[in-house]
Amino acid sequence: MTNPITPPASATPRASQTQLADVSLGAVRTTAPTVEHHDEPLGIGEERPRLSWRVTTGARNWVQERYQLAIRRVGGGTARGAEHGDTTGWIDSAEQVLVDWPFAPLAARERVEIRVRVTGEDGVESPWSPATTLETGLLAPRDWDARFITADGPGEPDGPAPLFRREFTVRKDLLSARLYITAQGLYEARINGRRVGDHVLAPGWTSYRHRLHYQTYDVTELLLPGANALGAMLGNGWYRGYLGYWGARALYGDQRALLAQLELRYADGTEQRVVTDADWSWLPGPVLTDDLYRGEHADLRKEPAGWDRAGHDAARWQAADVLDTDPRILTAPDGPPIRRTETLPAVSLSESSSGTTLVDFGQNLVGWVRITASGGPGTEVTVRHAEVLQNGELATRPLRTATSTDTYTLAETGETVLEPRFTFHGFRYAEISGPPGLAIHDVEAVVIGSDLRRTGWFSCSDPLLERLHENVVWSMRGNFLAVPTDCPQRDERLGWTGDIQVFAPTAAFLYDVGGFLASWLRDLSADQGKDGNVPWFVPDLMPTPSPPTAAWSDAATVVPWVLHERYVDRGLLARQLPSMVAWTDCAARETDETGCWRAGFQFGDWLDPAAPADAPSAGRTPPEVVATAYLVRSAELTSLAAETLGELETARRYTELAERTRAAFAREYVTASGRILGDGQTAYALALHFDLLPTPEQRRHAARRLADLVRSGGFRIATGFVGTPLILDALTEAGEAHLAHRLLAQRQAPSWLDPVTRGATTIWERWDSLLPDGSVNPDGMTSFNHYALGAVADWMHRSLAGLAPAAPGYRSLRVRPLPGYLTRASARHLTPYGEAEVAWRLDDGAFHLSVVVPPGCTAEIWLPDDRVPEHVGSGRYSWSVPYPVGAGAQLQRTTSVRSLIDDEPSWTRLVKLLQSIEGVTFADDRALVKLAVPNLDRSVADFVSRLVADLRPGRGVDAAEILAELEEADPHA
Ligand code: RAM
Ligand 1 pocket residue status of 499, Cβ below 6 Å:
yes
Ligand 1 pocket residue status of 603, Cβ below 6 Å:
yes
CA–CA gap between residue 809 and residue 569 (Å, rounded): 8
CA–CA gap between residue 54 and residue 41 (Å, rounded): 17
Ligand 1 pocket residue status of 835, Cβ below 6 Å:
no
673's CB contacts (< 8 A; 6+ apart) are 697, 698, 701
Q: 857: burial class by Cβ within 10 Å (0-12, 13-18, 19+)?
A: buried
**Structural domain contains residue 576:** no
**Structural domain contains residue 380:** yes
**CATH of residue 840:** 2.60.420.10
What are φ and ψ of residue 886, in 5° steps? 80, -5
Angle between helices 570-589 and 514-527 (to 10 degrees): 40
- Beta carbons within 10 angstroms of residue 637's beta carbon: 23
What average pLDDT does this structure show over 397-401?
Answer: 97
**Structural domain contains residue 348:** yes
CA–CA gap between residue 192 and residue 343 (Å, rounded): 27
Residue 765 CA to ligand 1 centre (angstroms): 9
The residue contributing the CA closest to ligand 1 atom 5 is: 496
CA–CA gap between residue 363 and residue 346 (Å, rounded): 9
Ligand 1 pocket residue status of 810, Cβ below 6 Å:
no
Residues, the chain, total? 973
pLDDT of residue 647: 98
pLDDT of residue 83: 47
**CATH of residue 56:** 2.60.40.10
pLDDT of residue 9: 34
Residue 620 CA to ligand 1 centre (angstroms): 18
Same structural domain for residues 299 and 184? Answer: yes
Q: What is the pLDDT of residues 46-98, one digit of tens each?
A: 999 999 999 999 899 999 999 999 999 987 655 544 445 899 999 999 999 99
Ligand 1 pocket residue status of 491, Cβ below 6 Å:
no
Among 322, 490, 299, residue whose Cα is nearest residue 406: 299
**Structural domain contains residue 641:** no
Angle between helices 737-745 and 724-733 (to 10 degrees): 150
> In the chain, helix, strand, coil percent, each to 5?
25, 25, 45
Residue 605 CA to ligand 1 centre (angstroms): 12
Same structural domain for residues 377 and 310? Answer: no
Give me the number of domains the chain comprises. Answer: 5
Ligand 1 pocket residue status of 537, Cβ below 6 Å:
no
Tell me which of 832, 848, 882 is where a domain ends: 882
Ligand 1 pocket residue status of 487, Cβ below 6 Å:
yes
Same structural domain for residues 320 and 344? Answer: no
| Structural domain boundaries enclosing 868 | 9-18+810-882
Residue 745 CA to ligand 1 centre (angstroms): 26
Q: What is the pLDDT of residues 660-695, one digit of tens each?
A: 999 999 999 999 999 999 999 999 999 999 999 999
pLDDT of residue 972: 60
Which of 363-377, 475-489, 910-924 is the least confident region?
910-924
State which of 399, 400, 475, 496 you would mutate to test the pocket of ligand 1, scoring each by most atoms of that ligand within 8 A of its C-beta.
Answer: 496
The residue contributing the CA closest to ligand 1 atom 9 is: 486
What average pLDDT does this structure show over 756-761?
Answer: 98
Burial code (b: 16+ CB inside 10 Å, e: under 16) for 798-818 equals bbbbbbbbbebbbbbbbbbbb
Residue 537 CA to ligand 1 centre (angstroms): 9
pLDDT of residue 22: 40
**Structural domain contains residue 429:** yes
pLDDT of residue 15: 28
Ligand 1 pocket residue status of 498, Cβ below 6 Å:
yes
The residue contributing the CA closest to ligand 1 atom 7 is: 781
Return the higher-pLDDT residue of 965 and 470.
470
User: Where are the alpha helices (H) located in 670-774, listed in sequence order?
Assistant: 681-689, 696-712, 724-733, 737-745, 753-757
**Structural domain contains residue 689:** no
Residue 782 CA to ligand 1 centre (angstroms): 10
State which of 781, 782, 785, 789 you would mutate to test the pocket of ligand 1, scoring each by most atoms of that ligand within 8 A of its C-beta.
Answer: 781
pLDDT at 20 over 60: no
Same structural domain for residues 73 and 156? Answer: no
Same structural domain for residues 183 and 118? Answer: no
Confidence band for 164, pLDDT divided at 50, 70 and 90: very high
**DSSP string for 788-819:** GGGGGHHHIIIIII--EESSGGGSEEEE----
Q: 685: burial class by Cβ within 10 Å (0-12, 13-18, 19+)?
A: buried
- The amino acid present at 902, given as its one-letter code, is D
**DSSP string for 558-582:** HHHHHHHHHH--HHHHHHHHHHHHH
pLDDT at 249 over 60: yes
The residue contributing the CA closest to ligand 1 atom 8 is: 486
pLDDT at 325 over 50: yes
CA–CA gap between residue 274 and residue 169 (Å, rounded): 10
Tell me which of 331, 363, 386 is where a domain ends: 331
Same structural domain for residues 348 and 313? Answer: no
CA–CA gap between residue 80 and residue 110 (Å, rounded): 8
Residue 721 CA to ligand 1 centre (angstroms): 10
Same structural domain for residues 313 and 175? Answer: yes
Q: What is the pLDDT of residues 136-157, one digit of tens each?
A: 999 999 999 999 999 999 988 8
Among 752, 701, 747, residue whose Cα is nearest residue 727: 752
530's CB contacts (< 8 A; 6+ apart) are none
Same structural domain for residues 162 and 301? Answer: yes
Q: What is the pLDDT of residues 279-324, one digit of tens each?
A: 999 999 999 999 999 999 999 999 999 999 999 999 999 999 999 9
pLDDT at 23 over 60: no
Residue 486 CA to ligand 1 centre (angstroms): 6
What average pLDDT does this structure show over 624-637?
Answer: 98
**Structural domain contains residue 543:** no
CA–CA gap between residue 318 and residue 149 (Å, rounded): 12
pLDDT of residue 969: 66
CA–CA gap between residue 866 and residue 570 (Å, rounded): 33
Q: What is the pLDDT of residues 579-621, one digit of tens each?
A: 999 999 999 999 999 999 999 999 999 999 999 999 999 999 9
**DSSP string for 837-876:** EEEEEEETTEEEEEEEE-TT-EEEE--TT-SS-EEE-SEE
Same structural domain for residues 259 and 196? Answer: yes
Tell me which of 840, 856, 882 is where a domain ends: 882
The number of the ligand 1 atom at minimal distance from the alpha carbon of 497 is: 10
CA–CA gap between residue 409 and residue 430 (Å, rounded): 18
Ligand 1 pocket residue status of 484, Cβ below 6 Å:
no
pLDDT of residue 575: 98
Same structural domain for residues 173 and 114? Answer: no
State which of 491, 492, 783, 787 you would mutate to test the pocket of ligand 1, scoring each by most atoms of that ligand within 8 A of its C-beta.
Answer: 492
**DSSP string for 920-948:** ---SSHHHHHHHHGGGTTSBHHHHHHHHH
Same structural domain for residues 843 and 903? Answer: no
pLDDT at 1 over 80: no
Cα dihedral 505, 507, 512, 516 sign: negative
**CATH of residue 181:** 2.60.120.260
What are φ and ψ of residue 931, in 5° steps? -70, -30
Ligand 1 pocket residue status of 605, Cβ below 6 Å:
no
CA–CA gap between residue 527 and residue 561 (Å, rounded): 19
The number of the ligand 1 atom at minimal distance from the alpha carbon of 496 is: 10
Residue 465 CA to ligand 1 centre (angstroms): 25
**Structural domain contains residue 308:** yes
Q: Which residues are catalytic?
A: 492, 765
State which of 243, 537, 606, 608 you would mutate to test the pocket of ligand 1, scoring each by most atoms of that ligand within 8 A of its C-beta.
Answer: 606
Same structural domain for residues 876 and 910? Answer: no
